[in-house]
């Protein structure tokens, strides 16, 4: 059990990667505080953890509200006695999303409002700041621990229509690197995963939409490696569990001497290639490349 006796707070734990990670953390021995802006989603995740034989508490709140984040950490210490892991996972896509995916809408950059910017900034970057800020005293009281943040492949490469999102995720990477330097003396490791594939369609849906529980690729129909733009050809699509296992690695002692790392997860070589389509990529490559989806939350 990789997290035996550990206590974790997971923000954005009501769906997608947060929910899958909560269940995996519990399977690996952790007690989990599930934090989500939607109370019913947080409660449902906690119930699923308990049905699996684990221990979880649901806390409703907004990561963009400092007092809410502080309350989640306080709950972990009050109910479970300590904090070992902060998984700062909550995130939102900027208005419009990726136009080719799940009904996204093209929004001209100059038409974005201050409210659009403040919303994505507040959740994706300020929310990570608050999560780290309030985790650190608890982790120090515990003699150290791990902070893991969900960034994105969009922090390293551009996707259409989500420049605000990309900017905030690049900010997460900078925060992770800076904190790894400042917090190492306390035995606190700080890392991020950068998903490309294997993420939840809920990220691009309206708040409150039914939780899908599968990745974009799993919900897209019959899987064909030949039609996939991912260079790595496997007989199954990338999944939420693939990303959750990377989170588990970064949260556990398996990565005990890693800090300040922004780790591309589930990219299957996507980030390593140039933007050209080659003959050896096969006849479906151009169409598949056009249908590729962004790795978000």
CA–CA distance, 226 with 284 (Å, rounded to integer): 7
In whole angstroms, give the CA distance from residue 289 to residue 230. Answer: 9
In terms of Cβ atoms closer than 10 Å to its own Cβ (0-12, 13-18, 19+), residue 163 is: middle
The catalytic residue among 159, 165, 186, 216 is 165
Of 163, 229, 234, 244, the residue nearest 199 (C-alpha): 244
257 included as an active-site residue: no
- Residue 114 exposure: Cα atoms within 13 Å on the Cβ side: 0
Measuring CA to CA, which residue among 189, 223, 202, 234 is closest to residue 87? Answer: 189
Instruction: Look at residue 265 and give its three-state secondary structure.
Output: strand
Structure tokens at 124: 């994706």
Query: In angstroms, how far is CA 30 from the centroid of its own chain?
Result: 18
Give catalytic residues, as residue numbers: 165
């Amino acid at each position: 059990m990789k997290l035996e006796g550990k206590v974790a707070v997971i923000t954005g734990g009501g769906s997608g990667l947060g929910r899958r990670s909560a269940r995996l953390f519990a399977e690996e021995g952790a007690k989990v505080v599930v934090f989500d802006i939607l109370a019913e989603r947080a409660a449902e995740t906690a119930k699923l953890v308990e049905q699996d034989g684990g221990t979880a508490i649901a806390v409703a709140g907004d990561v963009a509200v400092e007092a809410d984040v502080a309350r989640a950490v306080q709950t972990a210490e009050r109910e479970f006695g300590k904090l070992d892991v902060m998984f700062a996972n909550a995130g939102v896509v900027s208005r419009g999303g990726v136009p080719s995916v799940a009904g996204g809408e093209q929004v001209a950059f100059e038409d974005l409002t201050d409210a659009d910017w403040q919303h994505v900034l507040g959740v994706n970057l300020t929310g990570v700041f608050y999560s780290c800020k309030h985790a650190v005293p608890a982790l120090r009281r515990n003699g150290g621990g791990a902070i893991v943040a969900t960034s994105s492949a969009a922090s390293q490469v551009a996707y259409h229509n989500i420049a605000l999102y990309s900017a905030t995720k690049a900010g997460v990477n900078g925060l992770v690197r800076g904190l790894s330097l400042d917090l190492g003396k306390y035995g606190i490791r700080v890392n991020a995963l950068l998903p490309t594939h294997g993420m939840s369609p809920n990220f691009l849906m309206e708040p409150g939409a039914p939780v899908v529980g599968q990745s974009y690729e799993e919900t897209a129909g019959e899987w064909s490696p030949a039609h996939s733009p991912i260079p790595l050809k496997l007989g199954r699509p990338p999944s939420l569990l693939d990303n959750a296992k990377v989170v588990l690695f970064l949260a556990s002692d398996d990565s005990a001497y890693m800090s300040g790392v922004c780790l591309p997860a589930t990219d299957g070589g996507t980030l390593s290639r140039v933007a050209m389509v080659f003959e050896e990529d096969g006849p479906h490559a151009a169409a598949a490349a056009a249908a590729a989806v962004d790795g978000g939350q």
